[in-house]
Amino acid sequence: MSTPIKSRPGKRPAASVEELFHARTEPVDGGHLRWTGYANKRGLALVRYAGSLHTALRIAFRIQHGREPVGHCSTDCGLPGCVAPAHVEDDATRTRNRAAYASLIGLDSPAEACRRGHAAAEHRRYRRDGRPYCLACNATAAETSA
């Protein structure tokens, strides 16, 4: 006769990083999610799972889009600390959405390159108000001012 398996006392380990994400958020009015878990000194919301650190925004992006984010993740909803998956954008979706907005309001630029010759297809980005800028030129300006 076999002996029954005893379960360990304490919390059951999470089955996935997404499960940990949902356990560390709470809904806020307007479809936002507030992060209730750990944040580092810079305020970056983090989850440790399977020996690795994951940012809450990258997890939220994967939940919403079913793919790994490209580049930096951020929200454009205006609520500081929001981690709602529907509000998170990566570099690619942010550029696409802002380019569409710029086109709608007549600010898109047909130029193939910036004034310094950086290819627009690779370096053009858009501010929240739809104005285009060159990512390479901005990086150069930031290095010289530091």
β strands within the chain, DSSP E? 25-28, 32-35, 46-49, 52-55, 74-75, 88-89, 124-126, 132-134
Q: 14: left (phi > 0), else alpha (psi -120 to 50), else beta?
A: beta
User: pTM of the prediction?
Assistant: 0.76
Q: Answer whether residue 134 shows pLDDT above 70.
A: yes
pLDDT of residue 9: 67
**What's the pLDDT tens digit per position in 45-104?**
999 998 899 999 999 999 999 999 999 999 988 898 899 999 999 999 998 988 999 989
Mean pLDDT of the chain: 89
Residue 117 and residue 103: Cα distance in Å, rounded? 22
